[in-house]
Amino acid sequence: MAERIPIASDHAGFALKESLKARLTALGFEVQDLGTSSEASTDYPDYAHPLAEEVSTGEVMRGVLICGTGLGMSYAANRHAHVRAAVAWNPEVAALARQHNNANVLVLPARFVTPVEAEAILQAWLDTPFDGGRHERRVEKIELEGDSQ
Ligand code: RB5
């Protein structure tokens, strides 16, 4: 069965979302489009929270968010338990976000990457496994810190 990957953006990320949806579908994923559906102005948290909730509850393994800088989407997504949303602006950062941080949400800054660059970033994030080992302990400490507050 194909892995379901949710993807969502605000207006700034809409065009890139459409092109990455096609890419994910071509790669064989079942793409779940959580909006937005046009370039009309919207509020990024309205899209980040539903996607992050799916990752947080384990309904899906991973998801993709897109806004202008990547920042607003990552702030909102990272409020959810077990979500590690990483803004990546090149494939190296995306690979490290997987290897060291086990990032389960990729956040793309649509205003600062080309569609071709975004595809390469997406591919690196999809293909790179978590290194585990010492990084496992560090990632676990993210959750512990949150729980004790
Ligand atoms: C929208 O103009 C922009 O603020 C949004 O896409 C994002 O960059 C927020 O962090």
Q: What is the full DSSP assignment across 77-100?
A: HTTSTT--EEE-SSHHHHHHHHHT
CA distance 29 to 120: 16
pTM: 0.96
Does residue 146 have a pLDDT over 60? no
Predicted confidence band at 105 (pLDDT cuts at 50, 70, 90)? very high
| Ligand 1 centroid distance, CA of 69 (Å) | 6
Phi-psi region for residue 132, left (φ > 0), alpha (ψ -120 to 50) or beta?
left
| Size of the chain, expressed as the number of residues it contains | 149
Residue to probe by mutation, ligand 1, list 47, 66, 67, most atoms within 8 Å of CB: 67
Name residue 63's beta-bridge partners.
105
Please state the domain extents for the chain. 4-140
Give catalytic residue positions: 67, 100
- Cis? peptide before 25, omega within 30° of 0: no
Which residues line the pocket of ligand 1, CB cutoff 6 A? 10, 12, 44, 67-69, 71-72
Tell the residue nearest (CA) to atom 4 of ligand 1.
68
Q: Which amino acid is at 64?
A: V
| Ligand 1 centroid distance, CA of 144 (Å) | 30
Is-contact 70 45, C-beta < 8 A? Answer: no
pLDDT of residue 149: 46
Please enumerate in sequence order all residues whose Cβ is within 8 A of that of 118, keeping only pairs 6 or more positions apart, or say none. Answer: 16, 19, 20, 108, 110
Architecture of 4-140 per CATH?
3-Layer(aba) Sandwich (3.40)
Does residue 148 have a pLDDT over 60? no
Is-contact 76 52, C-beta < 8 A? Answer: yes
| Ligand 1 centroid distance, CA of 74 (Å) | 11
Terminal CA-to-CA distance of the chain, rounded, Å?
A: 39
Mean pLDDT of 32-60: 98
Q: What percent of the chain has pLDDT over 70?
A: 96
